[in-house]
């Protein structure tokens, strides 16, 4: 695997990578992140006691929308046809929600950026919906867990 920066040409100018010679393959990426909050905030989310509505349900939709809009947000990211985006939000302990997103496509480039963007947008949505009761929430541990497909094959993060 090359360590070269692919978004620069031979003259050091920024460009969008040419993926036209790549084969179309099924590509899957999984990413995760957490939002840590006061225990009372998590309790209210889980009880459905938020004036703005179903926090987890809306965060799930936001994560999916984030994946779909990745190329609009990341300047050199290719717009790709997503075939699946799944966003899961699971409470951990008394003060944390973990978001895990799986993004899939059949195409010439991977979906890592879509999965990572989806996680961050989902977590930001939780923050936005709950900031009135807990401005001190923090997002952490946002990372790629796994990618499959393409020339580089299967990659999995170390625990």
Q: Which helix (H) or strand (E) holds 45?
A: helix 39-47
Instruction: List CB contacts of 82: < 8 A, sequence separation 6 or more.
Output: 67, 68, 103, 104, 105, 111, 114
Q: What DSSP string describes 58-99?
A: HHHHHHHHHHHTHHHHSTTPPP--EEEEEEEEEEETTTEEEE
Q: Which positions are annotated as active-site residues?
A: 128
CA 81/CA 104 separation, integer angstroms: 9
- Alpha carbon 148 to its chain centroid, in Å, reads 16
């Amino acid at each position: 695997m090359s360590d070269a920066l692919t978004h620069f040409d031979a003259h050091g100018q920024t460009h969008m990578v040419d993926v036209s010679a790549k084969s179309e393959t099924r590509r899957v990426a999984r990413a995760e992140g957490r939002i840590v909050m006061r225990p009372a905030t998590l309790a209210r989310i889980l009880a459905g006691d938020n004036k703005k509505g179903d926090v987890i349900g809306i965060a799930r939709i936001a994560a999916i929308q984030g994946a779909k809009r990745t190329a609009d947000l990341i300047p050199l990211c290719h717009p790709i046809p997503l075939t699946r985006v799944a966003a899961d939000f699971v409470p951990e302990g008394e003060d944390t929600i973990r978001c895990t997103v799986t993004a899939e496509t059949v195409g010439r480039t991977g979906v890592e950026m879509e999965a990572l963007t989806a996680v961050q947008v989902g977590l930001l949505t939780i923050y936005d919906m709950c900031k009135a009761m807990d401005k001190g929430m923090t997002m952490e541990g946002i990372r790629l867990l796994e990618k499959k497909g393409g020339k580089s094959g299967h990659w999995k993060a170390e625990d």
